[in-house]
């Protein structure tokens, strides 16, 4: 259930008015090329990117915990 929610949130980030960068390098490239204009867009892109990274990290931890739980369950059977 939580994994589904996280995946849905990540998908929503790609459908917003302001694009969510796939990689840090894109965000950095945009910041360098805009030379101070569109700072509000850059700020929102940074927020979206940070949110995306946080969601992905939580998803990784959930999956790690599931693997550990499955391993412990198999050991105790």
Domains of the chain: which residue ranges?
2-12+22-76
- Say how far apart CA 52 and CA 14 lie, in whole Å: 10
User: 34: pLDDT confidence band, cut at 50, 70 and 90?
Assistant: confident
What are the tokens at 61? Answer: 């931890």
pLDDT at position 38 over 80: no
pTM: 0.72
Rounded distance between C-alpha atoms, residue 51 and residue 9, angstroms = 9
Of residues 34 and 72, more confidence is placed in 72
* Distance between CA atoms of residues 44 and 34, nearest Å: 14
């Amino acid at each position: 259930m939580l994994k589904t929610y996280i995946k849905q949130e990540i998908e929503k980030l790609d459908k917003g008015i302001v694009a969510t960068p796939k990689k840090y390098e894109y965000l950095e490239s945009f910041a360098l090329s805009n030379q101070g204009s569109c700072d509000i867009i850059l700020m929102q892109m940074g927020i979206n990117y940070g949110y995306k990274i946080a969601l992905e990290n939580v998803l990784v931890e959930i999956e790690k915990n599931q693997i550990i739980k499955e391993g412990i369950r198999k050991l105790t059977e």
